[in-house]
Amino acid sequence: MRSFLLFLSLFTGCEASPELKGCDGGWVNFTWKYTETNIINIDVFQNKLSIIKSTQKDTWENKERLSVYHDATNKSIRLGIKQLKRSDAGEYRWETKPNQNSEVKLKVVADEGGCKKPFNQTAYRTAKTSITCDEGKKEDSRFNFFCKENGSICEDILSTKSALRSNGTFTLTETESGFTVSISNVSPQHAGVYWCGVESTEGSYRAALRKIQLEVKAAIKNFTRSPTIGQNMTYWCQYPEGAPVKKFICKGEDPSKCEHVVSTAQNTERFSMIDEKEKRNITITVRGVTKEDSGTYWCGAESKTETQSNSFFNRFLMTVVQPPTPTFPVSSTTTAFAESRGFSKNKRDAAAAQHDREDYIYEEIQERPLKPDSGNAINKIYSTANFPTNPSASLHYSTINFRNGSGEAAEVLMTNPSSSACEYSAVKDREIPTCSNVNQPSPADPLYSTVNKTQQQ
């Protein structure tokens, strides 16, 4: 079936008839006005042959592909013809009793005046989709409209006749070649047959430009990733059996008009695709991601025909983030020591924060292994401690962990309340008592702590 475009040409002279052009496969409505009252028994002729009659008011009367409506309130007669054929061309005339008549000529064409083939479009639940309506050359004598089939009529959704361009779900946007209508947050109720069309400014005719069969599929599979700036990232896209050969990735909220980024036929410097056909899986790699790479990406395949939209397999949401800022964990030793000194919560938090900073300026102390013949020899542990840059801080300490010969853990906590004196806490060892002497050399020399361990008698 082909959609159609209707044009109206008025000829000079009282007997001249309007000439209409319609496209093969479409529908057309044109309207006659009358001035008499009490009009009844309307008879419509094609080439002098009666094709449909109306004996009722304010209701549609149908006969095969024809429909007639007598609008008694507005004194008009509307004739509709569906699924136009070449044989529908000719002269149409209506007659009434009392005697009054009017006529129009119809020409049915296939590929003239912006006639478009019907289009099958696939949309995905919760996503966005856009329908393109290209009418060709614009004319000031007509408006654009967008409607949806509902039984024998096509219900208007939006029209350029009105200043309203959006109703919340549908949005009409005029372009150089026609107009587009986008549908946000697609749902199953949006599936159906739509028409793009034109209407004469005086309302004497309405005609469709294009037929769109909209199919709505279940919500597409989503992937979400948050790579760090500069990282390389890889993700995978599986596709069903029988999918078109040419696969691609595009970027944008609306898959029906998203911007192509890369395809299996041609990779770029930063984006690449590998199609593992036996597994029906595509591997997509993005090198050195940037903040500008954030957005919505679609993995799909190019349609084999111009009457079918591209198909998509999944949606990838990428948010590129800054590298994380290092954080310093608070140790349980810090909290326990502060509590043992009777510090308030605020002072404990301050001590913990100071300890966190110092954790990154001291060197790890490792215990020298005992020699087999060492007996009860004294083992010394040397630790180089760098003084903090803020000597007025109320608390500085280091934590020394080591193990004795039996594998038990021992711990030394040393505090430095000032730059001239050091305090220390007792070294706790479950089995072997331990003594700790802390000596502070001159400020020019490194600070050494000596830990003596004696065997319990």
Query: At 71, which CATH number?
Result: 2.60.40.10
DSSP label of 338: H
How much is the pTM?
0.66
CB atoms within 10 A of CB 192: 13
- H/E stretch holding 337 reads helix 332-340
Q: What is the mean pLDDT of the chain?
A: 74
Half-sphere CA count of 234, side-chain side, radius 13 A? 5
Residue 153 shares a structural domain with residue 80: no
Please name the residues in contact with 198: beta carbons below 8 A apart, sequence gap of 6 or more: 5, 6, 135, 142, 143, 144, 145, 206, 207, 209
Q: Are residues 433 and 379 in the same domain?
A: yes
Give the β-pairing of 192-200 and 19-23.
unpaired
Which range has the worst mean pLDDT, 126-135, 136-145, 430-439? 430-439
Residue 370, Cα to own-chain centre: how many angstroms?
65
Q: Is residue 338 assigned to a domain? A: no
* In a shared domain, residues 235 and 179: no
Sequential DSSP letters for 215-239: EEEPPPEEEEE-PBTT--EEEEEE-
What 3-state class would DSSP assign to 50?
Answer: strand
pLDDT of residue 34 exceeding 90: no
pLDDT of residue 320: 95
In a domain? residue 58:
yes
Q: Are residues 13 and 104 in the same domain?
A: yes
Contact predicate 191/214, CB 8 Å:
yes
Cβ contacts of 160 within 8 Å, gap of 6 or more: 143, 144, 145, 172, 174, 179
pLDDT in the model for residue 188: 95
Name the one residue in this structure whose structure tokens are 């990733």: 225
For residues 206 and 292, membership in a common domain is answered with no
The phi-psi region of residue 288 (left if phi > 0; otherwise alpha if psi is between -120 and 50; otherwise beta) is: left
Average pLDDT over residues 420-442: 42
d(CA 302, CA 317): 21
Instruction: Please check whether residue 346 lies inside any domain of the structure.
Output: no
Amino acid identity, position 247: K
pLDDT per position as a tens digit, 215-243: 999 878 898 999 999 999 999 999 999 89
In whole angstroms, what is the distance from residue 6 CA to residue 239 CA? 42
Give the structural domain span for 255: 223-318
User: Does residue 278 share a domain with residue 235?
Assistant: yes
Give the largest Cα separation in the chain, rounded: 135
**Domain closes at, from 318, 353, 374:** 318
Judge whether 337 lies within some domain. Answer: no
Please state, for a pLDDT cut of 70, what percent of the chain lies above it.
Answer: 65
Parallel, antiparallel, or unpaired for β 60-63 and 259-263? unpaired
Do 197 and 240 lie in one domain? The reply is no
pLDDT band at 351 (very low <50, low <70, confident <90, very high): low
- Is 124 a member of any domain? yes
Q: Is residue 14 part of a domain?
A: yes
Confidence category of residue 375, pLDDT binned at 50, 70, 90: very low
For residues 222-250, b (16+ Cβ closer than 10 Å) or e, as one string?
Answer: eeeeebeeeeebebebebeeeebeebbbb
Within a domain: 163: yes
Q: What's the pLDDT score for residue 411?
A: 41
Q: Total domain count for the chain?
A: 4
Exposed e or buried b per residue across 40-76, where buried means at least 16 C-beta atoms within 10 angstroms of its C-beta: eebbbbbeeeebbebeeeeeeeeeeebbbbbeeeeee
Whether residue 2 is predicted with pLDDT greater than 70 in this model: the reply is no
Whole-number pLDDT of residue 37: 74
- Do 47 and 134 lie in one domain? The reply is no
Query: Has residue 306 been placed in a domain?
Result: yes
How does pLDDT run across 98-109, given as a tens digit for each residue? 666 778 888 888
124 and 200 in a single domain? The answer is yes
259 bridge partner residues: 251
Is the bond preceding residue 98 a cis peptide, omega within 30 degrees? yes
Count CA atoms closer than 13 A to 145's CA, side-chain side: 22
- Considering the domain architecture, whether residues 102 and 125 belong to the same structural domain is answered as no
Asked whether the beta carbons of 250 and 263 are under 8 A apart, the reply is no
pLDDT digits (tens, 9 = 90+) for 270-318: 999 999 999 999 999 999 999 999 999 999 999 999 999 999 999 999 9
Kindly tell me if the per-residue pLDDT of 180 is higher than 70: yes
Measured distance CA(196)–CA(205) in Å, rounded = 14
In terms of domains, do 88 and 123 share one?
Answer: no
pLDDT of 76 strictly over 80: yes
